[in-house]
Amino acid sequence: MEVVVHTAKEMNFPAPIPALRIKELIDKGVHSDIANLDFEMIKMKLQEKDEGLGWTKEQCKSGELEYKRYLTLCHKYGKGMVPNKIMDNFWHFHILDTRLYVKNCEDIFSGYMHHYPYFGMRGEQDAEDLKQSFYQTKKQYEKLFGEPIARSEHSDCWHDCENRCWHACPSIGIQ
């Protein structure tokens, strides 16, 4: 079996996060340390149709902002923040890059930030707790960032479910 070694020049790597983008994220309320996290490889993966979610560049840009805002919420308020689907999808792809995720958690939270994907699935009270926790996250989001967690570029859900729908509608969002 032949082993093929590629040089960095032969491989396709996106450019690092630009300084202008970091400033834009900070201007939108993202904590500066979090704004500086380089998720360009994650965004490249999210754009893949087969192994990602087939997001457009604009969807990745918006998803990055929302996920970095989620991380900012967690940094400021601690555990109990519930992501919407956009944030959660980006988070899943961040977690898959295990080395980057562990390093970023150490740098931002001084330890690993666990993801518990079963919240809301363990009965009626758990579902209600998830719903109330999300409403609390929504309030903190609006307070910290000065705008609602659901905006027209994210969903056309007629009852404004913030991409965490309890009304059995197909939430459009970034998917």
Mean pLDDT by 10 residues, the chain (175 residues): 63 86 98 98 96 93 96 93 92 96 96 91 92 94 92 49 47 39
Q: Exposed/middle/buried for 158, CB within 10 Å: 0-12, 13-18, 19+? A: exposed
The predicted structure's pLDDT at residue 101? 97
Among 48, 59, 20, which Cα is nearest to 174's? 59
| Domain residue ranges of the chain, discontinuous segments joined by + | 19-145
The predicted structure's pLDDT at residue 167? 40
Query: What is the Cα 132 distance to its own chain's centre?
Result: 20
Q: Give pTM, 2 decimals.
A: 0.82
The predicted structure's pLDDT at residue 8? 56
